[in-house]
Structures are given as C-alpha cells and as structure tokens.
Chains A and B, each alone.
Chain A
Amino acid sequence: MLNIKLGESKIPCQANESVLDALLKANIQIPYGCQQGVCQSCLMRSLDTTPPVSAQAGLKDTLQKQNYFLACLCHPEQDMTIALPEQQGALLNASVIKKQLLTPEILRLVLQYDAPLTFFAGQFVNLQRFDGLMRSYSIANSPQQDKVLEFHIRRLPNGQFSNWVHDELEHGAQLTLTEAQGSCHYLPGRMEQPLLLIGTGSGLAPLYGIINDALAQGHTGAIHLYHGSRNHDGLYLVDEIRGLTKQFDNFNYTACLSGACIAEQAIEANYAQGRAHDLALNTIQNLKGWRIYLCGHPEMVNQSKRAAYIKGASLSDIYTDAFLVGNHNG
C-alpha cells in the first residue's frame, strides 16, 4: 500500500485504486466528472515524483512537463505528494441568459461570457457550480455568435448537476467554466468531403453546432445527419433542422425513433423507424473518404465507430464524443 500526501493529510492508496478513488474514500472533496480520463476535471499536480505516463494521457505538453496528471487515471507507482491545481488555469465567468425546454428532458441553456474564449462548435467545456461540482457539456452553437455558449442538458434521474441546472439554476445566475476541450469539431479544408453525423439524445448538441459551422463556412460535400431518440418527444429542433435542409441542397436530415411502439403522430411527422446508427450505417454502403461524427450514448458511439471503420472510413476521420457519465455514488 502506498501513501498520498495532500496538504496535511496522508491518504492510503490500495494497489487497485486510482488517486481519485483514494481521495473520495477519504472523503476529500475534489472536482471530477467522467472518471475515464476524458473531461480533465480531476486535474492535479504532483509536487515530488513524476506521475505515471498513463495518467497524463491527453494533457497538453506544458501541463505534462509541470507534472500535472489526471487523478482518475493515476495508479501511483510510489508515494506521491500532490496538490490541487491553483485556480485551474483559465476559469471563466458566465451568466445564464436563457433556459428553454427542448424536450421534457432536455434543456437549452444559454450562457453569456465576457472574457475572450476560443472554441469550435462541438468542443466541450466543464461547467462548475458554486460548490465545485463540475460536469462536461458540449457546445451547440458556432463561434460566429457573439459571446454566448449554448448547451443541451439532459436531465438524468438523480443526476446532481443536470437536476440542479433544470430545477434551480436561475436567470442571471453565475457559473464558471473551463476552456474548451476536445477534437470533435468541424475542420475547414476538405470542403468537398462527405460528412456523416450520428447522435442520440442530447448528442445532437455538438452535431448541431458542427453542422451550423460547416454550412456557415461553405462546406460543399454532402452532409447527412441522423438524430435518434426512443420516443418522438425526445426529438428536438426538428423544425429548425428541416429548415436547413430547405436552405442547403447538400444537407440531409433523418430523425429516427427506436421505441417499439411508434405513435401515429410520429408516422405522420415522417420520422424513420429504427436506431439512428443502424439506419445510417445500413443506408450508406461505403464510407471510404467520409468524415464521421458520433456523439451521445457511449455504447452507440463505440459500436458505430467500429462499423464505420469496417465500412471503409479511416480511423483518423472518425470523431467521437461519448457522453460518459461518471458513477458518482458507487
């Protein structure tokens, strides 16, 4: 058994535990989210030893050099003295300017910020509540808009952050957010490349941003969006997106319902039947040369990534955002 030193406390860390596990077991409050090395909200710094390389996966070179690491990925190889990062780099203040229900479960949250922030539509930021609770959300608007960020936040049963946003966060209230991260965004350059975007639930958020960005930048290749939900009331922004298909010849949209019993309204509304990724991947036979975006349910993202690759897409052309949900009480 090894020991972790944080300030005055000495915390035991068992062989199979990560630093995050050990700190949580000792009831030490630190920010964390996905517990899988993606959101970087559990960033910490080692004050003595060099952290294991695997605990620095995905961190910027500059942070790696300063011995920063991700607590959820860090299985210490020796005793460590660690510290919480000093006021985590650039934390930005933002205030709530709009809350609107898009579906019974998904809320559109629009924040206004004042300091400079560079981002691409489709990247994510970590939002932080006054008490430090932090979660990742994808940016649904493109940077062409002025100093606002839009998010689509799905209410999870007993979810701490999502329920707070839905029920308690008020107009004008302040939040802090970290800089934008992630590589799931539009890249100008290969304007004629066909794009396939598949999202489930609030996985539409980054895709909606990416599509608006691509269209605003004059993408000429075909763009195919498949958005899936179990029930028809889980599909949202349908009219706006159908509007885009009328405006842009190269843009196609398929709204998909996977639920067993499909209401008459749904059939009338012209939704496709089946899971979004099944429909997309059965319709398009060859994905060689395509660029692919997969966002939402982690299962869907993994299955589709593999299927798209088998159908000819190259791994470097597949961008994913799995909405990993941490296990916050287990």
Chain B
Amino acid sequence: MSETPETKSATLFEQLGGAGAVDAAVDIFYRKVLADYRINRFFDNVDMEKQAAKQKAFLTMAFGGPHNYTGEDMRKGHENLVRMGLDDSHFDAVMEHLGATLQELNVPQALIAQVAAIAESTRNDVLGR
C-alpha cells in the first residue's frame, strides 16, 4: 500500500494500532483501575483473567474498533454496579485512567480526544440513566 499513515481513510482504530494497541493498553489500564481505591471495589470478586478480557472489550470499543455492544448492553452490563452505587465520580475516574494510559503509550493528543469522546458518549447508558 502506498498510502501514508496520515491518510484520512484510516479509521481511529487503525491509527491507534488496532488489536495490538488494545493488548498494550489493557495491561496498563487494568493495573491502574485495580490500584485505584476510589473504584477498585467494583472489580472485586471477579476472575482476573475474565476481567482483563472485559477490559479489552471496553478498550476496543473506546478505540473505535469492531464490537457488537448496544447501549442496552452497556446498561445491562453495568446494572449491578449501579446498584452498588456507581455514579459520575467513578465514571470520571475511569476516564482519567483511560487518558493516562494513552498518554503513557505516547498516543497523540488529538487521538486521545477522539477516544475520550467515544467513551464519554456511553455515560448515560453505563450509569443507567
């Protein structure tokens, strides 16, 4: 292929580096989430391998990659957490870790903003509003 990486037709997911980028990010991201006392109680009592796989699904989605989740799935998927008290402050914390993870991976600011916008767009579904 002769196209340059800056070509307009490359999707966000491709620009970020695709599945490889998700693998690199999940390790950093999940570690930050587990170490954060504000939110780690939501991640208690779950199989760590399964949980890491779910974080991968989360990142793939936020990176604009292929996924089959609907808003309704996001609602259902976080329903129990909302019952446990999940609110905006927790959502903000996750957003923080997402941004910091991408910065650590030296992702350009413009792409980080696009990822953040996708994640932000799920806020009402995740919080069950």
Contact = CB atoms under 8 A, between A and B. Distances in A.
Interface of A: 305-306, 309-310, 312, 314-315
Contacts of A310: 31, 34-35
A310 B27 CA distance: 10
Contacts of B31: 309-310, 312
A315 B35 contact: no
A318 B19 CA distance: 23
A299 to B, nearest CB: 12
Contacts of B52: 315
A310 B49 CA distance: 14
A306 B27 contact: no
B49 A315 contact: yes
The size bracket of the interface on B is: under 10
8 contacts: A306-B34, A309-B34, A310-B31, A310-B34, A310-B35, A314-B27, A315-B48, A315-B52
A302 to B, nearest CB: 9
Interface in B1-34: 27, 31, 34
A155 B27 CA distance: 40
A315 B49 CA distance: 7
B105 to A, nearest CB: 16
Contacts of B34: 306, 309-310
B30 to A, nearest CB: 8
A314 B27 CA distance: 8
A305 B27 contact: no
A178 to B, nearest CB: 25
The 4 A-B pairs at the shortest CB distance, nearest first, are namely A310-B35, A310-B34, A310-B31, A315-B52
A315 B34 CA distance: 13
A312 B35 CA distance: 11
Interface string B39-70: 00000000011001000000000000000000
Nearest to A305: B48
Nearest to A320: B48
A256 to B, nearest CB: 24
Contacts of A314: 27
Nearest to B47: A302
B126 to A, nearest CB: 23
A85 B52 CA distance: 35
Nearest to A318: B48
A70 to B, nearest CB: 16
Given A305-B48, A309-B48, A315-B49, 11 more contacts: A306-B34, A306-B48, A309-B31, A309-B34, A310-B31, A310-B34, A310-B35, A312-B31, A314-B27, A315-B48, A315-B52
Contacts of B48: 305-306, 309, 315
